[in-house]
Structure 1
Amino acid sequence: MLIQKVRFERSPKLHAMMTEAPYPVNARVVVQGKRGPEVATVRDEAEPMPGDGRYGMILGAASEADLDRWAELGREAEDLKWLLRARARARGLPVKIVAAEFTLDGSLLTVSYSAEERIELGALIQDLRGHTRARINFAAVGPREQAMMLGTLGACGRENCSSHHLQDFAPVSIRMARDQQLPLNPEKLSGPCGRLLCCLQFEHTQYLDLLKDVPRKNARVCHDSSGACGKVVKLHPLEGTVDVLTDAGMMQGVPASELRVLKGEPAPGQQKNRPRD
């Protein structure tokens, strides 16, 4: 038995599935997952199956009939999504209907929604009963999951990371922005989902390594060559330099390697847990 990773339509996350025979990368296949049979796309080469773990199963290559049926169900689910949005608005329910998806056999309809508070969904379920015989499952999703499912452009002008390649939502903190010397402007640090940008974590480890050789902000330092002393007011970790306000009132950009931290101040590499702001 082999393992091959597949991707579903509304998420970049790769799911390992068991298969008896390998399928070409980008092949459309029918898989048996937690919700039931669905169409997915093969995204990786087959590998020997590890001895442990629980996996879904690739049932076979998706036929033209499967793909036609999948497209038809997609259109039907889209119509039901807009129906639910209209009914929720008419009922004054504070809920956002994000997406609706059928399984390939049409037996299950999963409705993804978000709400700021707990709401009663019984009325919406009854609205659906008159339009589908499928079992109905409402699944609450958070802001980042919404951005993943709906897709949007990030501040960089490219598709947002959550819908393009992220496999997990790792914690992102304001400390990461401080370590990268970014202005603490919520509008510039927040993604389309309204949460801190996921990309803040991508280079954080690299910035921590660079900061080991840079005096912390407000440290008292002296320049060995000129003998000028002063206070560090700004860090440039990528350049390996800092801006020093000298005791004479001059602002100087100086390579961190040419600076000596005065006694009583932490030396570069010794302030890993000290604030950088």
Structure 2
Amino acid sequence: MVVLPVRFERSPRLHPMLSEEPHAVGTRVVVQGKRGPEIATVRGEPGEPQPQERYGAVLHAATPDELTRWEALHASGEDLKWLLRARARQKNLPVKIVAVEFTLDESLVTVSYSAEERIELTGLIGEVRAQTRARVNFAAVGPREQAQMIGTLGACGRENCSSNHLQDFAPVSIRMARDQQLPLNPEKLSGPCGRLLCCLQFEHTQYLDLLRDLPRKNARVCHESSGACGKVTKLHPLTGTVDVFTDQGVLTDVPATELRRLTDAEIKALPDGGRGTPRPGKPARGKQG
């Protein structure tokens, strides 16, 4: 027995399946998954089974008749999806039908839907049962899963990561955007699903490594050669430089390696207590004459 990574149609995630023979990459096979028999595609080289792991099973390579039947079931699922969308509009249900999928033996039909609140699905369940004898399963999916199943284009102009190669949805936070010095604009930081871009996590660890060599924003620093001191206003991790607003009122871009960070004692010893020269247009605090 070998383990084959296979991929289903609506998700890039690879599922390890036990197989009695090592099918070639690209082979379409019939697998026994959690929902029942389905068609999947082999997407990797065979590996060794791991103890205490639970696997699905590759039954055999798909025959031409099975592939033809699978295409017909796919078409039936698409027709049923659009029918349910029309019925949902007629009933004023705040729900979006994302996908309708049959198992190969047509014993189960799974209706994936997205809704912002809990809704009554009895009417839609009846519509499905009027079209097929298969058991009906309605499965709620989130915004990211919806984008994964439908497929969209990202801001980069390429297929969105969730439907192309992502294996799991890792947590993404606004801190990742801050660390990468990106403008905190929700429209630019959100993907087609309306959530934070998954790609923010791809280079985050590299940015953290680069930031370790830079002074923090608002830190007091002095230039080693000129002796000019000021406050750090912006970081440029990729170039290894920072913007420093000097006490003389000049904004300069300086390599971090040429700067010396002031100690707390040195900052307290400064005449202004480390506040530095205010930016133009921002007068110093205090009573105005």
Which residue number in structure 1 is paired with residue 54 of structure 2? 54
Which residue number in structure 2 is paired with residue 230 of structure 1? 230
The worse-fitting range, judged by mean Cα deviation, of 46-55 and 163-172 is 46-55
Deviation of 1:105 (Å):
0.6
Map 1:1-277; keep pairs closer than 5 Å: 1-264=1-264
Amino acid paired to 1:116: E
Deviation of 1:72 (Å):
0.1
Write the deviation string for residues 35-80 of structure 1: whole angstroms up to 9, x where unpaired: 0000000001001111121110000001110110000000000000
Distance 1:247 1:84 in 2: 67
Deviation of 1:264 (Å):
1.9
Amino acid paired to 1:151: G
Distance 2:67 2:160 in 1: 27
Distance 2:264 2:118 in 1: 54
SS at match of 1:217: coil
Larger relative contact order, structure 1 or 2 (CA cutoff 8 Å, min sep 6): 1
RMSD: 0.8
Distance 2:264 2:157 in 1: 46
Distance 2:90 2:64 in 1: 39
Deviation of 1:128 (Å):
1.3
Displacement over 3 Å in runs of 4+: none
SS at match of 2:225: coil
Distance 2:78 2:259 in 1: 62
Amino acid paired to 2:6: V
Amino acid paired to 2:194: G
Report the number of matched residues.
265
Amino acid paired to 2:185: N
Amino acid paired to 1:140: A
Distance 2:163 2:178 in 1: 26
Distance 1:240 1:211 in 2: 9
Distance 2:213 2:264 in 1: 17
Distance 2:24 2:101 in 1: 26
Deviation of 1:178 (Å):
0.1
Amino acid paired to 2:114: S
Deviation of 1:219 (Å):
0.5
Deviation of 1:172 (Å):
0.1
Write the deviation string for residues 183-218 of structure 1: whole angstroms up to 9, x where unpaired: 000000000000000000000000000000000111
Which residue number in structure 2 is paired with residue 274 of structure 1? none
The worse-fitting range, judged by mean Cα deviation, of 49-58 and 188-197 is 49-58
Write the deviation string for residues 123-165 of structure 1: whole angstroms up to 9, x where unpaired: 1011111111110100000000000000000000100000000
Flag structure 2 segments of 5+ consecutive residues without an equivalent: 266-289
Deviation of 1:179 (Å):
0.1
Amino acid paired to 2:7: R
Distance 2:149 2:90 in 1: 25
State the structure with more CA Rg.
2
SS at match of 2:264: coil
Amino acid paired to 1:101: E
Normalised to the residue count of structure 2, the TM-score between the two structures is 0.91
Amino acid paired to 2:111: V
Normalised to the residue count of structure 1, the TM-score between the two structures is 0.95
Flag structure 1 segments of 5+ consecutive residues without an equivalent: 266-277
